[in-house]
Structure 1
């Protein structure tokens, strides 16, 4: 999810304004980039950290058969594509609040990245706000929550998203998990405070996995398991 510098000037492919502000898809050299309310979210340069998000959650489930994963945030589609390429997942639900991003995948510039995954019968795209979904007592439960809607717990993209990482937000996430289910949260940098928050919320086996980088601060995935 790191911006890669290329000599070309970025070209805006689409710009939408919705209930949550502005979201932009632009092309910068060979990369496609998503910008939300002026904040760089992600691009198509790599995808290692998105794959780690999904794999780390799956590995923490041990041998649970056909688990159901919720991916919070469609983004450029790396997490969805990686989950759909793994036959061990049962159902795959993606919650995305931005209709524009869903459109870009279904019939737009991001379609080549996700067409196979979207055609997978296990995949369901839910146009909804993730915060509302996890707080909805009528929502179903999942075996894994893989959340990638911000640049991390300490760097939210939209005002109000920080409530997801608060005690009440983490309690709601736990309610959306089956016993022994896994919460995995992507972050652009490690957060010792968030590890503590996970433990305080009752999550077990809390740990942080890093994505190796040549220089700078590594991307990480924070993990916690709901008590069985």
Structure 2
């Protein structure tokens, strides 16, 4: 008879919830935590380099602007928030996350170990909302907006997210940016078409910075500046 054996690397589901935008799952795979949205791998805790570089790229593009306020679209596993809160140059750090489950996993769940210090920082605020609704309705403005919601403009988690990367969606992002403010968008692959959309939405200094990965196509950060 076959010899039974365990598969130590098999993912283990820690929580599964049905939200207004579909199913979200938190699972452990070995030593790492993963977020799966509607069956699509979104992100995990294995690295975080690209999320940190997303925040750094926005800050660098602001030059020496004092205490710039930051809006992060998407809480994810918390790398972007934790990195921003660890940088004293940032002023207020606001994170917009539409999935209640993801917020709960950070507040009192397995992801609290990554984001606990950042959430305790008085500069930090978490807003439970759809980002597109938020940027079209809020009265707040920011020096930088960092988007890390999907796998990129061409690879969204839910179909409705496409509108965020359209000219209309980017106009909403520009609405909450102060003059000379920076928009930074993470993507799992370059998107020349999205660069064109950013220009059509009125952004200047549009460029793409590559983030080397171990194998495959580099991750990128799309950067653009709202005109003064």
Relative to the length of structure 1, the TM-score reads 0.95
Unaligned runs of 5+ residues in structure 1 are 1-5
Partner of 2:47: 46
Q: Deviations over 1:166-214 (max 9, x none)?
A: 1111111111100000000000000000111111111111111111123
Pair member with larger Rg: 2
User: What CA distance in whole angstroms lies between the structure 2 residues aligned with 1:93 and 1:73?
Assistant: 10
Question: Deviation at 1:139?
Answer: 2.9
Relative to the length of structure 2, the TM-score reads 0.95
Partner of 2:224: 224
Question: Deviation at 1:98?
Answer: 0.5
Confirm whether residue 116 of structure 1 aligns to residue 117 of structure 2. Answer: yes
Q: Deviations over 1:84-108 (max 9, x none)?
A: 0000000000000011111100100
Q: Deviations over 1:116-154 (max 9, x none)?
A: 000000000011111111121x43111110001100000
Partner of 1:161: 161
Question: Deviation at 1:7?
Answer: 5.7
Unaligned runs of 5+ residues in structure 2 are 1-6
The number of equivalent residue pairs is 222
Partner of 2:191: 191
* Structure 1 contact 61–182 (Cα < 8 Å) conserved: yes
Matches within 5 A, 1:84-103: 84-103=85-104
Matches within 5 A, 1:1-228: 8-136=9-137, 138-228=138-228
User: What CA distance in whole angstroms lies between the structure 1 residues aligned with 2:159 and 2:216?
Assistant: 26
